[in-house]
């Protein structure tokens, strides 16, 4: 079974730094998206 790691939180708490460290340690890719990207095409 594959595992999905989701990191959520407010601005400026270190999510990016955590994800970069996890990705390096676990040799996994990072997919980054914020609400403006996700909902940009919705009316």
Instruction: Give domain status of residue 23, yes or no.
Output: yes
Q: How far apart are CA 43 and CA 34, in angstroms?
A: 17
Q: Specify the 3-state DSSP secondary structure of 16.
A: helix
Q: How many domains does the chain have?
A: 1
pLDDT by residue (tens digit) across 12-22? Answer: 999 999 999 99
Helix (H, G, I), strand (E, B) or coil at 41: coil
Residue 28 belongs to a domain: yes
Residue 35, in any domain of the structure: yes
Q: Does residue 3 have a pLDDT over 90?
A: no
Please give the backbone phi and psi of residue 11, each rounded to the nearest 5 degrees, phi first.
-60, 140
Structural domain containing residue 28: 12-42
**Predicted TM-score (pTM) above 0.75:** no
Question: Residue 35: which of 16, 18, 11 has the closest Cα?
Answer: 11
Question: Contact 29/23 with Cβ under 8 angstroms?
Answer: yes
């Amino acid at each position: 079974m594959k595992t999905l790691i989701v990191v959520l939180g407010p601005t400026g708490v270190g999510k990016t730094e955590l994800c970069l460290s996890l990705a390096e340690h676990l040799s996994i890719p990072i997919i980054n998206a914020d609400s403006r990207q996700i909902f940009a095409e919705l009316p």
